[in-house]
Amino acid sequence: MTLEVDVSGLEREVGGEIGFKVAGPAPEEAGSGGQRWGPVKVEGRAIWTGSTVLVLGRASATAELTCSRCLDDYTLPVLAEFSQEYRLADSGSGPAQPDPQGTGRDRRDTGRTATRRSGGPTPGDPASPEDAATDEEPLPFSGDTIDLAGPVWESLLLELPMKPVCDERCPGLCPVCGAKHGETTCGCRVETADPRLMSLKTLLETKERGD
């Protein structure tokens, strides 16, 4: 199976709607951030708006990530909702028309999901800058098949944590010997880097010397 929706049963009149469930393997580009993905399932609705097909979907998959603290691999279930418009590309008359007018209307109603743009760019963020623009223009489709791969993987990648952590309580690795804290008690003394504590320590040591 692939992430393609057969819309041959979709009535081409305003309000025509079909539900779908599709599944498929992760495309290669989905792992560009270093994570590995299991198969993805997508379900949702395709709605004929008059000039486009609006797809509202929910994708679920599991990503295998590496914990940023202890460096263990762990599996994270990822859920993402997306909405994407598709425009029928006229067969025979070249590529889809860019639609100079009017796609700005009807935007409020979809409860658009891609709102995680706060926080600004982060070094090493696997999300590419292009996804700021892609969900604005309808994607072309032809025949009776709509390919969901683009919006599905974009939305899933947006749900990945910037700093993956296997568990909120993950104690990480000992900075001295590299042992995993919580599994072993290595007994290393970890020097604190907090300057306030350092000056307190100096004070105590001075007192011990009896000045």
* Stretch touching Zn ion by CB under 5 A, among 34-42, 91-99, 147-155, 163-171: 163-171
Work out whether 166 is an interface residue with Zn ion (CB under 5 A): yes
Q: How far is the CB of 76 from Zn ion (least distance, A)?
A: 12
Nearer to Zn ion, 33 or 172 (CB): 172
HEC assignment per residue over the chain:
CCCEEECCCCCCCCCCEEEEEEEECCCHHHHCCCCEECCEEEEEEEEECCCEEEEEEEEEEEEEEECCCCCCEEEEEEEEEEEEEEEECCCCCCCCCCCCCCCCCCCHHHCCCCCCCCCCCCCCCCCCHHHHCCCCCCEEEECCEEECHHHHHHHHHHCCCCCCCCCCCCCCECCCCCCEECCECCCCCCCCCCHHHHHHHHHHHHHHCCC
Size of the site for Zn ion (CB under 5 A): 11
Nearer to Zn ion, 1 or 71 (CB): 71
Work out whether 69 is an interface residue with Zn ion (CB under 5 A): yes
Work out whether 177 is an interface residue with Zn ion (CB under 5 A): yes
Q: How far is the CB of 74 from Zn ion (least distance, A)?
A: 7
* Stretch touching Zn ion by CB under 5 A, among 3-11, 36-44, 50-58, 169-177: 169-177
Which residues bind to Zn ion, rule: CB under 5 A?
67, 69-70, 166, 170, 174, 176-177, 179, 186, 188
